[in-house]
Structure 1
Amino acid sequence: MTQPDVTVVIGAYEAMPYLVECLASVEAQTLDHARIEVIAVDDGSTDGTGECLEQFAARTDMPVTVIRQDNSGGPSGPRNVGLDKAAGRYVFFLDADDRLGPEALERMVAMADRNGTDVVLGRVEGINRKPPQSMWGRTLERTDVWSSNIKFTLSAQKLFRRELLNRHSMRFDESLWTGEDALFTMEAYLRADGVSLIDDYTCYYLVGREDGKHVTKSGSYTLRFDSARALMTLISDMLPPGPRRDMLMVRPFVVTLLPQFGPKYLRDSEKVRRHKFELAKPLLDAYWTDEVAHRLRVEERLRMHAVAEQRPELLLELLEFRRAKKEPEALLEKRGRRVYFAYPHFRDTAAGVPDALYLAEPREARAVPGYREGGLDSFVRRAVRKARRTLPSRSRDVRPAAAA
């Protein structure tokens, strides 16, 4: 039997009626069906999901294996079962709620084969859900986690070279109830020999369920801290301290931790507020650095600083300022080359918050009228001009060559 190009792993739990369109999108693939293998795992559903999968397997012309098992409690178990049985050169993890664009697998396999890349991201469009946006803009034949914004899309719905996963014994962490895909995908990015992005074709449709049953939306706040801790630990285990590690640490801070200290914090009980500060403390002690701080927007940076310093009163003032829809005054200094956003306690000596935390980075400062970018460039140009004035003129020392 010829090895399939791609194994589509579908983990399904209580997936009706969304599963019907999901399977139809697999059947509609333009890639030769003989080159596709489907492994579908029914994770203890009671709504007809298992029966739907078996009916699909009986009628379709592509090889389909259906596995029915007791409920495992999360998406990791079914994905690992499917991955263990996969035979394809590549693996694609398809959620049973979602669906593929007709040319998705054909385009992604061709992209990986053409460039020798280990991970391929296909453009995602949301249906009643908002997908990540910052990594899109153009097709990239070959990139990596340092040269693009792919760290902000860590869902599992990507094409992975199976040899990479097996070489490093990569599997989904079944102890995590949320964020397990972030851990898996970040490790793949870091181990991959190149990543490709397809921007000019929608490969994946991320569907928002009307019943709201998304794993990423469910669970208590403690699970979010578990997820952040796991991802931060992975990054720190795989990278030494320094700018590269800090660049990736931005992701768990912004995506996972910051929302716990946003508007929902104002609705938390005092007991939950204290517990969140306790859970965050070891993470900020270990991973909150100046480099991470200055990759965040000013308001985000100030909130994380309040948590890092274990000062809930500062956090509450920032959140109340935000809830009142106030805008901080923008103060331009150094002839417009520095912009400070005067959030609460700016230059309040009693509060003791460093000025540097209020200083806008260029990407945020550009929106302020009067801001003059390029302070460093201007400094370099002045230094060059000064050096030219002090160096002797080459024209006085070098004679023209004699004519031949």
Structure 2
Amino acid sequence: MQDNKSIKLSVIIPCWNCSKYITKTLDSIKYSYYMSRKPILEIILVDDGSTDLTSKIIKAYDFGTRAVNVKYHFQNNAGPSKARNQGIKLAQGRYVTFLDSDDIWSPDYLRIIESIMDKYDSEIIEFNAVRFIEENANLKIHNNYTLVDEEYHGPINERILSEVFIKSEWYVWARVYKKKTFGRRVLQ
């Protein structure tokens, strides 16, 4: 386990009966990690009362490196927002992001996010997502989520807040946040 001060990114994954998907989700993090410069990473899996094999799969998963600090927390079923809030409380990273237990990262996700974290002192990093659906054993694009389509580095003002919070789709998992941004706030 790494010194908490060196953890760059905490990835919070709320889990509920996700035994069918969680291995692919964790594999995508692992692959993205090995394609990056290998930041000190923390994975927080908050099991929201799963009754399937989710817990067993998570506990047996091996990231293959000590630079990835994995935390598993079980709680009674309270919903994904409460699970994410618990993850924020447990997070030790300078930055926090969320990943749903049935989602996967692009192989270059960590490399790109890490370069932005290193280059800028961003409060929020927003990115795109694509939703695939399985149809006849083939994946096809269902939605291409378009978020803020410009790069901005500077002070936060009303125009920027409007762009992020009003004009774009609001998906908690489509952003990386500086942990201190949350303060005592909770997600709903």
- TM-score, structure 1 as length reference: 0.39
Displacement of 1:67: 1.0
Task: Choose the corresponding residue for 2:185, options 170, 186, 191.
Answer: 170
> Could you list the per-position Cα deviations for residues 45-91 of structure 1 after superposition, in whole angstroms to 9, with x for gaps in the alignment?
112111111111x553221011122211x101111111101111100
Name 2:171's counterpart in structure 1. Answer: 155
In the other structure, the counterpart of 2:157 is none
Distance 1:97 1:87 in 2: 24
- The answer to whether the aligner puts 1:60 opposite 2:64 as a matched pair is yes
Q: Secondary structure at the match of 2:130?
A: strand
Q: Does 1:140 align with 2:151?
A: yes
Taking the aligned partners of 1:42 and 1:147, their CA distance within structure 2 comes to 33
SS in structure 1 at match of 2:143? coil
Instruction: Please identify which structure carries the higher strand content.
Output: 2
Map of 2:136 onto structure 1: none
- Measure, in 1, the Cα distance between the counterparts of 2:106 and 2:73: 25
* CA deviation map 1:308-350 (0-9, x unaligned): xxxxxxxxxxxxxxxxxxxxxxxxxxxxxxxxxxxxxxxxxxx
Amino acid corresponding to residue 101 of structure 1 in structure 2: S
Unaligned runs of 5+ in 1: 174-404
| CA displacement 1:151-177 (0-9 Å, x = unmatched) | 3221111100012222xx12113xxxx
Q: Which residue of 2 aligns with 1:42?
A: 47
Q: Structure 2 matches for 1:391-402, cutoff 5 A?
A: none
Q: Which residue of 2 aligns with 1:80?
A: 85
Residue identity in the other structure for 1:20: T
Q: Is the 8 A contact 1:89 1:162 kept in 2?
A: yes
CA–CA distance in 2 between the matches of 1:100 and 1:150? 25
Per-residue deviation, 1:134:
6.0
Superposition RMSD on alpha carbons, in Å? 2.2
Residue of structure 2 in register with 1:26 after alignment: 29
**How far apart are residue 120 of structure 1 and its match?**
0.7
Residues 186-197 of structure 1 aligned to structure 2 (within 5 Å): none
**Structure richer in helix, relative to its length:** 1
Question: In the TM superposition, what is the alpha-carbon distance from 1:149 to its structure 2 partner?
Answer: 8.1
Shift of 1:33: 4.3
What is the SS of the residue equivalent to 1:146?
helix
Distance change >3 Å, CA 63–CA 34, structure 1 → 2: farther
Does structure 1 residue 121 correspond to structure 2 residue 121? no
Are positions 1:98 and 2:111 aligned together?
A: no
| Secondary structure at the counterpart of residue 95 of structure 1 | coil
In structure 2, what is the Cα distance between the partners aligned to 1:6 and 1:88? 5
State whether residues 7 and 92 of structure 2, in contact with CA within 8 Å, keep that contact through their aligned partners in structure 1.
yes
Identify the residue that residue 6 of structure 1 maps to in structure 2: 9
Bigger RCO (CA 8 Å, 6+ sep): 2
Runs of 5+ unmatched residues, structure 2: 134-141, 155-159
> For residue 7 of structure 1, what is the amino acid of its counterpart?
S
Return the letter of the residue paired with 1:90.
Y
Contact 1:34 1:63 (C-alpha < 8 Å) held by counterparts: no
CA distance in 2, matches of 1:120, 1:134: 11
- Tell me the TM-score normalised to structure 2 length: 0.79
Q: State whether structure 2 residue 96 is matched by structure 1 residue 71.
A: no
Task: Answer with 1 or 2: which has the greater Rg.
Answer: 1
* Paired position in structure 1 for 2:143: 130
1:122 positional shift? 1.8
